[in-house]
Amino acid sequence: MLNVKKKLIGQVLIENGLITNEQLNEALRYQKENPTKRVGEILVELGYITYEQLAKALAESLNIPYIDLLKEDIDENLLLMFNLDVLKEYKLIPIKKDEAGIVIVGLVDPLDNEAINIARSTLNIINIEIGVIAFDAFNKVLSDFENKFIINQALKEISIKAESFAEDIFNYISLDDLPDKEGVIKLVEAIFKQAITNRASDIHIEPLPFNIRVRYRIDGVLQKGLEFGYESFSEVVSRIKLLASLNITEHRLPQDGHVIIKTKNGDFDLRVSVLPSRYGEKVVIRILDKRSTILSLDKLGFNNINLEKVYKIISNPYGFILVSGPTGGGKTTTLFSMLKELDLESKNVVTIEDPIEYEIPGITQVQVNEKIGLTFYEGLKYILRQDPDVILIGEIRDNETLHTAIQASLTGHLVLATIHANDSISTILRIKEMVLGTTVKNEFLFSSLVGIINQRLVRVLCSSCKKKTKIHKGDLLNIVSVINEDYDFINDVYLKSYTDRDFLEVYEAVGCPVCSWSGYLGRTSISEVLIFDNQVRELFENNLPSYKIKKILREQNKQLFLIDDAIFKILSGITTLDEIKRVI
C-alpha cells in the first residue's frame, strides 16, 4: 500500500494558480453525476488543465516524485517482462533499476494498489519506487513500444514452430504450407506498423550472412529496427510478395509490386521492390502516405528571400520551371506546393508521375506504366492534346521528354518538372547538354526557362533535447572550401560578427524519447532559387564557367546559394554542421 500524507488535488491545483474555485466546483458537480470519474480526470476533460499539470499536482498532493516519462531512458528489458495488456490496463511503465536495485515504476494512478502489487509480482521484487506519470506521455511511450512487444512475441512463436519443422525453410512456396502462418502475418504487420508509427519513408529487409536486418529510413537516414533469424525469413518475404501480387515461386529475378494497406489512421501505398542477392532476396518498400496534405510554400523551409522568388516564379502564366536536387530531396513536395498556389478551378492541370505521391481533387493525374509503353515522354505527348494550361512532369529522365517540355512551355503552357542536378547552375548546364542533338536551340531553351529551385532536405534538431555547443569557425569554413564555395565571401558576410572569437555558438543533437533518441525530429529544406531573367540569360549565353557565374551573381547581390541557406540554418539552431556535411 502507498502510505502518504495526502493533500486534496483540487487544493493543490488552486494553490498553483491552475484552476479557480468555480472551475473546481464545476468539476465536483460533474463528479456527482459521474461518480466513477476522479476530479482531476474531469478537469482535464473540461479543458482546464493538461495531463502533465494533473500528474505534477498529483505528485505534489501525495508527496511523491513526478516523472517526465518522455525524458527518461526506459529499460526495454523491464518493459518486456510485462504483458502488453497488463501495462494498458494498469497504466504503468517500469522505467529503470537504480544502483541500489530498486526499480522505479511510473503510474498514471499511484493510488492503484492492485497496479503496485502487479508491478512487484511481475518484477519479482518488493522494493519499488513509485512516481506519477502523465496519461498522454504513458500512451505515447506505450505506442512506441507496442510494436516491439508484438515483434518479440511473433518471433518467439515462429521460433517455437520452426524448431519442430525439419524441412529446408527455403523450399516453401505457399503460405498455406509455411510453419506458423499466423506468426508470420503478425511479424510483417508489426514491421509495417513500426515504419508508419516512426514516419519512415522506406523499409529495408536485408539478408546478412548470419541474420536478417530490418532498417527504416526516417528523415532521410537509415535507422536500425529489428533483427531476426533465417528460420522465418522466407515466410516473411513470401508474405510480402503475396500482399504485393508478386510471384512467390520466383527467387532469381527482381520483382516490383505494390499494396495499399488500410489503418485506422488512413491508407498507405507500399511500393515493393524485391532484389535477389548473395544471401537471399532483399526487400525494399517505399511508403507513400495517402493522408499526406500538401503544405503551403511558406511551410517548406524557404528563407524569406527565396520564398519571395518562388512566389514570383509561380506567378508566370507560362514557361518552364525546374526543381532540382538529389533523390529524396523533397522536389515533388515543392512542385505540388507550387501547384497549390494556382487557381485550379479555372485551369486544366494535368500531371504525369511515377508514382503518384499526392492526390489532388480537380486535376488529372496520370501514372507512368513503362510495361505497356506509357513513359513520361509518351504520356506528355498525349497530355498536350488535352488542352492543358499547366503540366506537371514527375521527372525529366530523357532528351525527348525535355524537348517536349520546352516546346510546351514556349506555346503558352506552364510546365513544372523535376530533374537531378547538384545546384541551380549545374541544372542549366545539364539541360544544355541534354538538348544537344535535338532541334531545340539554346536561345529557345533560355527563353522557356522561368526559374530553377535547387534543394536538399536536412533533419531539424529536436526542440525537446537540443543543447547549445560551440564549433570552431574553421570547421564551418572547411566545408565551404570542400564544396568550392567563395571562402572569403562566406567569412566576410556571415562570420564577420565573430571576428574576435574562434568559436561559434550553435546547437547539437542529443536524443530523447520524443525523437526516438536520434536528436532530430522532422526535416526542412535548404535551397537556392534562381530567377532566369535577362541578366542571368546573358551570363549563360556567354558560356561563362559556373564559378564565374556564381561570383557575378554574388557581387550583384542577386543570389543566395545552398551554402548560404545552410549556414543560416546552422547559426539559427535549426540544424547542425553534421547534417549539412551529410547532404551537401
| 35 residue type, one letter | P
Q: How many C-beta atoms lie closer than 10 Å to residue 277's C-beta?
A: 11
Please tell me the distance from the alpha carbon of residue 232 to that of residue 209, in angstroms, as a whole number. 15
The larger pLDDT score, comparing residue 44 to residue 178, is at: 44
Measured over all CA atoms, what is the biggest interatomic distance in the chain, rounded to whole angstroms? 88
| CA nearest to 151, candidates 237, 208, 86, 226 | 226
State whether the Cα torsion 31-37-41-46 is positive or negative.
Answer: negative
Helix (H) or strand (E) holding 540: helix 534-541
Q: Which CATH class is domain 297-583?
A: alpha beta
Instruction: Indicate the pLDDT class of residue 179, thresholds 50, 70 and 90.
Output: very low
pLDDT reading at 175 higher than 80: no
Q: Tell me the pLDDT tens digit for each residue of 52-88.
A: 999 999 999 889 999 999 888 888 889 888 888 899 9
| CA nearest to 403, candidates 374, 381, 372 | 381
H helices of 164-220, in order, are 181-197
Angle at 371 between CA 368 and CA 373, to 5 degrees: 65
**β-strands 280-289, 200-207: how paired?**
antiparallel
DSSP letter, residue 387: -
Please tell me the distance from the alpha carbon of residue 476 to that of residue 482, in angstroms, as a whole number. 10
Please tell me the distance from the alpha carbon of residue 174 to that of residue 215, in angstroms, as a whole number. 26
Q: Which three cell numbers stand for residue 469?
A: 555547443
| CA nearest to 353, candidates 391, 395, 383 | 395
Q: What is the DSSP string of 229-257?
A: -GGGHHHHHHHHHHHTT--TT--SS-EEE
Roughly what angle, to the nearest 10 degrees, separates helices 135-163 and 181-197? 150
| CA nearest to 384, candidates 360, 352, 355 | 352
pLDDT computed for residue 185 by the predictor: 86
Domains 9-135 and 297-583 share a fold: no
H helices of 269-419, in order, are 304-314, 331-340, 376-383, 399-409
Lowest mean pLDDT among 43-47, 250-254, 439-443, 460-464: 439-443
Strands of 117-190, DSSP E? 128-132
DSSP letter, residue 67: -
Residue appearing with cell numbers 504487420? 189
On whether the CB atoms of residues 142 and 206 are closer than 8 A, the answer is: no
Lowest mean pLDDT among 139-143, 420-424, 461-465: 139-143
Q: How many C-beta atoms lie closer than 10 Å to residue 114's C-beta?
A: 10
Contact partners, residue 321, CB within 8 Å, separation at least 6: 313, 314, 338, 414, 415, 416, 417, 450, 451, 452, 453
On whether the CB atoms of residues 471 and 542 are closer than 8 A, the answer is: no
Contact partners, residue 75, CB within 8 Å, separation at least 6: 94, 95, 96, 97
Query: What would you report as the CA-atom Rg of the chain, rounded to the nearest whole angstrom?
Result: 29
Please tell me the distance from the alpha carbon of residue 152 to that of residue 408, in angstroms, as a whole number. 56
Please tell me the distance from the alpha carbon of residue 164 to that of residue 178, in angstroms, as a whole number. 12
Q: Tell me the pLDDT tens digit for each residue of 214-240.
A: 999 999 999 988 888 888 899 999 999
| CA nearest to 161, candidates 217, 216, 231, 109 | 231
Q: Tell me the pLDDT tens digit for each residue of 150-159.
A: 776 666 665 5
Rounded average pLDDT over 477-495: 63
Percentage with pLDDT > 90 across the chain: 51
Rounded average pLDDT over 422-428: 92
Q: What are phi and psi of 343, to 5 degrees?
A: -80, 90
| 40 residue type, one letter | G
Rounded average pLDDT over 468-476: 86
Rounded average pLDDT over 135-154: 79
Instruction: Indicate the pLDDT class of residue 107, thresholds 50, 70 and 90.
Output: very high
pLDDT computed for residue 503 by the predictor: 83
H helices of 48-131, in order, are 51-62, 76-79, 84-90, 113-123
On whether the CB atoms of residues 103 and 94 are closer than 8 A, the answer is: yes
Q: Which three cell numbers stand for residue 249?
A: 515461386
Rounded average pLDDT over 437-448: 78
Please tell me the distance from the alpha carbon of residue 208 to that of residue 226, in angstroms, as a whole number. 13
User: For domain 9-135, which CATH number applies: 1.50.10.10, 3.90.950.20, 3.40.50.720, 3.30.300.160?
Assistant: 3.30.300.160
Contact partners, residue 426, CB within 8 Å, separation at least 6: 546
The larger pLDDT score, comparing residue 475 to residue 276, is at: 276
What does the domain layout of the chain look like in residue ranges? 9-135, 140-289, 297-583
Which pTM does this prediction carry?
0.73
| CA nearest to 419, candidates 434, 407, 409 | 434
Roughly what angle, to the nearest 10 degrees, separates helices 376-383 and 399-409? 20
CATH number for the region 140-289 comes to 3.30.450.90
Please tell me the distance from the alpha carbon of residue 322 to that of residue 310, in angstroms, as a whole number. 11
pLDDT computed for residue 435 by the predictor: 81
Angle at 542 between CA 540 and CA 547, to 5 degrees: 60
Helix (H) or strand (E) holding 475: helix 473-482
